[in-house]
Amino acid sequence: MSRSFRVASLLAASSIRQGSLGVTLLIILILALVGLNLLFVPGLLGGLVSGANEKVIQTYTADIVVESRRESMLIRDVDRLISRIEAIRGVIAATPRIKLGAELSFDDERTGAVIYGIRPEREKRVFTIHQSLIEGSYLEPGDRDGILLGIQLAGADQPDIELYYRSLRRVHAGDRITVTYASGLEKKYIVRGVFHTEYIQTDLEAFVVEKELRAANPLPPDHAASIHVNIAPNADIRSIAAQIGSLRDDLKILTWEDYAGIVRSMTGSFTVIKAILNVVNLLVAGITIFIVTYIDVVNRRRQIGIQRAIGITPGSITLAYLMRATFYAVTGIIVASLAFKYLVVPLEARYPFHFPFGDVFLRAELWDMLRTALILLSTALAAAFIPVRAVMRVKILDAIWSS
Amino acid sequence: MYQVQELTKIYDMGKVKVKALEGVSFTVPDGDMLAIMGRSGSGKSTLLRQMGLLDQPTSGRILLDGREVSRLPERERAKLRLRHLGYVFQEYALLGELTAHQNVYLPGMMLGEADNYRERARELLELVGLGERINHYPKELSGGEQQRVAIARALINRPRVLLADEPCANLDTISSAMVMETLVRLNRELGVTVIFVSHDPDDRKYAQSVLVLSDGRIAQRSGQVK
Ligand SMILES: Nc1ncnc2c1ncn2[C@@H]1O[C@H](COP(=O)(O)OP(=O)(O)OP(=O)(O)O)[C@@H](O)[C@H]1O
Ligand SMILES: [Mg+2]
């Protein structure tokens, strides 16, 4: 085995060294492009999913959502529960919300929405919505006349947003809108600010301070519809969720992943697209190596015949070709990985792709790179093996003495 | 000892069948220097290829030290070629991407019996008068020099038999003489059995035995060959 290996290395190394540099570079270039393609799709998908997940966590659910198991769907004794949650190690902050269905109207436009009663100071420690204001300012804790609108509700004269034609269309910070609660109560609010988080579900929300929602509607005191919990980046979400669950037995504990259904279905279709693109890519890589090896083998029929005639085993000769294919593939993979990590990813970070939940940044993950390397290498080896195998079947006599 | 018994080779070209050898029998004793001669097309190369185990005869047998070798599977024949037979082709048959030195030691590396094949290759190149050119590539060598590298390569695994098919066909008289004298020295000094093909009647002078082929049959034999 080691003899064959030594002979094959000698044959492979000298064929690369003595071969045309231009051709070698061209093969490596093609394989590098295929490698880039193989990295790009999972990179995009990875960026897409993690971008979407981040948006869900930072603007929609927080890390953990606490709801009630009770028939009223309301959590009781909220203030005490919150201080107990915040006492758990790894919890940064928790914020309670109450909510009511309502109809919003402005001029001739009307639209339905859920209005959340929030505690602004706590919200800021759990969500990043206050950083996504495109107009006006965030709610002040004592502000009983103000309302905060997501851009998909306000419209803000931006017809290119997804749900503009279902929105109030021309509402801006400072405008007065009318809110008709499900209870029948009608009230005018001044729009304090409009936010655009780029996550549609969030941008369909409207906020008033908790006190105001309670004053406008007969809601039981010290109750909440949900509590949203922000945990430290390296904290163990499962364990914290379990600890919260054990505080009381009338709580339903969900994590952000339970809400990420949209992302999941998106991931599903992208997996199919990815598979199709990968097959095409690998065909390109395989056919390239196949053609290169095939032409080479045809040109060297006589040389291979001579090698066999002087006693070099077919195994060694085949191994030499496989080694050469490995060299091309590995070099191509290295070039592709470097180009991806140091060229494509930074470039895309500067000019990101835009998706309904914000900008998507490509990610270069080690696992994807390794998998790509493995796939490309196996393809290259299989593609090199077929033509070499064919020429090994030819009789030595025909290989050496027939043209 | 090489024994060829009733060897017949028919090339099957589909419609046409070419009878290149017909019932050829002879025995070559160890240490002989045998010239196979005859007109073009008489079957010399065909005979040498059968003896070099590069092809299989249509019928008949070849025995090497009493062992039937022509019907062995290719793997076994490859081992015999590597270990016991050296073959020098009519056309220069060096590997273009390897240096003279690498060309010579490659079969030694393949056999892997001793680790000094590099050293031995150097000595063999000196033996054929190319000690100074070991790092040259075939394209940088003349035809005669290439043929001498091929002889050195054929000798790397200390074969018992060296088979050379018109080793001087493409060479001028001076180069031819050098190649032929190299073969003679190998035969005399190392005791290698040398079987060479030639169509130049002058080359009889290098041989101890002569076999003349005509239309695939032995027309004449002389010397130790029986
Ligand atoms: N591979 C082959 N396929 C078909 N016919 C062949 C093949 N090799 C040789 N022949 C035929 O067999 C006969 C003997 O050929 P061979 O090459 O053995 O002659 P030779 O004595 O070596 O001739 P030369 O001196 O020209 O080299 C010729 O008629 C030739 O055409
Ligand atoms: Mg011939």
pLDDT in tens, B56-104: 999 999 998 889 998 898 888 888 988 899 998 887 689 989 999 999 9
Looking at residue A351, the DSSP 8-state letter turns out to be S
**CA-wise closest residue to A114 among A101, A97, A129, A96:** A101
pTM over 0.90: no
**Chain A interface residues facing chain B, Cβ-Cβ under 8 Å?**
2-4, 6-7, 10-11, 14-15, 17-19, 303, 306-314, 316, 395-397, 400
| A316/B89 Cβ within 8 A | no
Residue in A with minimal Cα distance to B153: A310
Ligand nearest the Cα of residue B17 is: 1
User: The dihedral of CA A299, A305, A310, A313: what is its sign?
Assistant: positive
Closest CA to A36 of A376, A379, A377: A376
Chain B residues with CB under 8 Å of A307 CB are 95
Give A-chain residues touching B153 at CB under 8 angstroms. Answer: 310
Average model confidence (pLDDT) across chain B? 89
Contacts of A17 in chain B (CB under 8 A): 97
Atom 14 in ligand 1: residue holding the nearest Cα? B43
CB contact under 8 A, A400 and B89: yes
Domain range annotation of chain B? 30-57+67-222
User: Is the distance from the beta carbon of residue B40 to the nearest atom of ligand 1 less than 6 Å?
Assistant: yes
Spatial separation of the C-alpha atoms in residues A318 and A323, rounded to whole Å: 9
Q: Which parts of chain A register pLDDT below 70? A: 1, 261-264, 266-267, 356-358, 364, 402-403
Architecture of domain B30-57+67-222: 3-Layer(aba) Sandwich (3.40)
pLDDT at position A253: 94
Atom index in ligand 1 nearest the CA of residue B42 equals 21
Amino acid B217: pLDDT: 92
Site to probe by mutation for ligand 1, drawn from B7, B10, B11, B51 as the one with most ligand atoms within 8 Å of Cβ, is B11
What is the side-by-side strand order in the sheet with B193-197? B85-88, B161-165, B193-197, B33-38, B209-214, B217-222
By C-alpha distance, the chain B residue nearest A16 is B97
| The one-letter amino acid at A142 | G
What pLDDT is attached to residue A1? 58
List CB contacts of A369: < 8 A, sequence separation 6 or more: A39, A333, A337, A340
